[in-house]
Chains A and B, each alone.
Chain A
Amino acid sequence: MEGLNAQEQRELQSRMEKKQMKEFMTMYSNMVQHCFDDCINDFTSKTLGSREEGCVMRCIDKRMKGSERIGNRFQEQNAAMAQSGALPGR
């Protein structure tokens, strides 16, 4: 961020936001796709049954929690990487 003047910083900012938005939408649609595929496989009725509803709730819950945990671990690894300048070997 240092080498850019104010206008370029704003530009970078807006581009980052657009990217994040896009990423978020991608994640959302991936999640919908996945959970639909896994949970809803009975088309004899057009309403969501209680089983399917419960399944969808749990699917979303698990996905969000899973990605949160992964994000946390990634943050830690990132911090380690940032300090040591390389992937921490094991």
Chain B
Amino acid sequence: QGLPNFRLRLPSRNWMIFLSITGSWTAAVIYDRREKKRIQKKWATVVSHLAEEAVPTSVMPRKLTIFLTAPPADGLMAARDHFHEYVKPILVSASLDWDAIEGRREGDVRAALAERIRQLRKLKGEHSTEPVEEEDADVITYRQRQRSGIREWDGIQGDIIIGRNTWKEYVRGLHEGWLGPLDPPPPPPEADPLPSSTPPESSTPLSSTTIPGSQPSELVPDTPHTTSDDASPTTTPPPESPSETPPAEQEKKPTKRKQPDPFISPSQYSTATLAPTCPPELPPSTTISFPHILGFLNTPTRMYRFLNRRKVADDIGRQTAAAVLASYRPFAESGHGDGAFLGDDATSSGDENQANSQRRWEQQTLLIEEEAEWHKSVRKTKEGDQKKERVWLDEVVLDPRIAGRMRRFEVTPEEEQRADRIRNGEGALGSTDEERDR
């Protein structure tokens, strides 16, 4: 009768070691994932009231634009998975529509964004040598909507940018789009390797840069491209850019397509005229940190991050909720800064940049800690591309006209408090549900 005579004993020393190690590891993982889910649920609840709002039939829902680039030395799927895991649940909870601009190589996002802005400018009425391409699906939809009287969302749209490299490309693309010309710059007299000679589309098959020499670069910049004497476009291609010679026409997809060179270089910003159709406030944007690190010796860092994903989720949730709730503020600038150059040191173009470098803008330091984690292959330039601009490596150059128009999504302290209350267990509408009556 009663309990048999068990002799309670602990497992052996080796088992104890094993179980404590695996037990603590598992506990850490489970705790982190549980907290991450709760935190994401918290941020999703903060914005979920937007899903209930009615939208009239003739109005398109609000659309955010997501900018994604493959992180250096990795694929686009890593960025996409990051987006799906951290950003998308909150957008889904608020039932917000989104549109993605993706980039595989360096400069894709810049090119796509600049092209989009140029098309917007053309549609709004600016004149250029190339008229709006009416065959494009987006333009057709735009015209049809104009005819039927369907308007876009009245409030502000927004952009969500994932990663420091994408942010740099975004800023560059914004400047290029609003400050640059609508017509592509003329190709250099050096050959382009394609048999189809310079078609007047914006995807001009340039093989070398058309930027006049005063841009920040490693080599001594040479004076404009007229030094070469070949005007024929079908001469032998220079050895550079073997990776950019596919004979393709469209520029929507980045793979195997020509990436059009920038229409304007950073050193030309101060002399360029701002587009007349530029709005006084550009659509606000927010940056999402994308922690990404490669390498065997970085394994401890990666382990630490693996066990601390809840912090990333909290940060990203906050930024995305700010974008969804559309609370924004202008970017801060500090007056008369540290005198640091904005370009690389070897350049002689300091003069133009001097005026800009008097102030340090907040945009330049966003997500700057990610740069240290980039794979070292980013810092190497291919042989032929020495003169090309490296958007990821160069400093962020800002024109005050554009930087002053940029806005940043940020949660207000009230929303932050509300989020904390939700986290602590109260409902989304406070502890009583009186407001639910409609």
Contact = CB atoms under 8 A, between A and B. Distances in A.
Interface of A: 65, 68-69, 72, 75-76, 79-80, 83-84, 88
Interface string B154-189: 000000000000000000000000000000000000
A84 B57 contact: no
A83 B135 contact: yes
A2 B150 CA distance: 32
A80 B141 contact: yes
13 contacts: A65-B57, A72-B57, A72-B148, A75-B144, A76-B144, A76-B145, A79-B140, A79-B141, A79-B143, A79-B144, A80-B141, A83-B134, A88-B137
Contacts of A65: 57
A72 B150 contact: yes
Contacts of B144: 75-76, 79-80
A68 B144 CA distance: 15
Nearest to A78: B144
Contacts of B135: 83-84
A56 B14 CA distance: 69
Contacts of B145: 76
A72 B56 CA distance: 13
Given A72-B57, A72-B58, 5 more contacts: A76-B141, A79-B143, A79-B144, A83-B140, A84-B140
Interface in B120-139: 134-135, 137
Per CB-CB distance, the 5 closest pairs between chain A and chain B, nearest first, are A79-B144, A88-B137, A80-B140, A76-B144, A68-B57
Given A75-B148, A83-B135, A84-B135, A69 B140 contact: no
Nearest to A81: B140
A80 B148 contact: no
Interface centre among A65, A80, A84, A88, by most chain B C-beta atoms within 10 angstroms, is A80
Interface centre among B58, B134, B137, B148, by most chain A C-beta atoms within 10 angstroms, is B137
A80 B145 CA distance: 12
A27 B57 CA distance: 19
Contacts of A69: 57
A65 B150 CA distance: 14
A84 B148 contact: no
A84 B137 contact: yes
Interface string B36-66: 0000000000000000000001100000000
Nearest to B143: A79
A76 B141 CA distance: 5
A88 B139 CA distance: 12
A84 B134 CA distance: 10
Contacts of B150: 72
B57 A76 contact: no
A54 to B, nearest CB: 11
A60 B62 CA distance: 25
A88 B136 CA distance: 10
A69 B60 CA distance: 9
Contacts of B137: 80, 84, 88
Nearest to A66: B57
A83 B148 CA distance: 17
A88 B135 CA distance: 11
Nearest to B137: A88
B111 to A, nearest CB: 20
A68 B55 CA distance: 13
Nearest to B54: A65
Contacts of B141: 76, 79-80
A65 B57 CA distance: 6
B436 to A, nearest CB: 16
A48 B58 CA distance: 32
B61 to A, nearest CB: 10
A88 B144 CA distance: 15
A75 B140 CA distance: 11
Contacts of B58: 72
A84 B140 CA distance: 10
Interface centre among B57, B143, B150, by most chain A C-beta atoms within 10 angstroms, is B57
A72 B147 CA distance: 11
A79 B58 CA distance: 17
Nearest to A88: B137
A83 B134 CA distance: 9
Contacts of A80: 137, 140-141, 144
Nearest to A80: B140
A80 B134 CA distance: 10
A72 B58 CA distance: 8
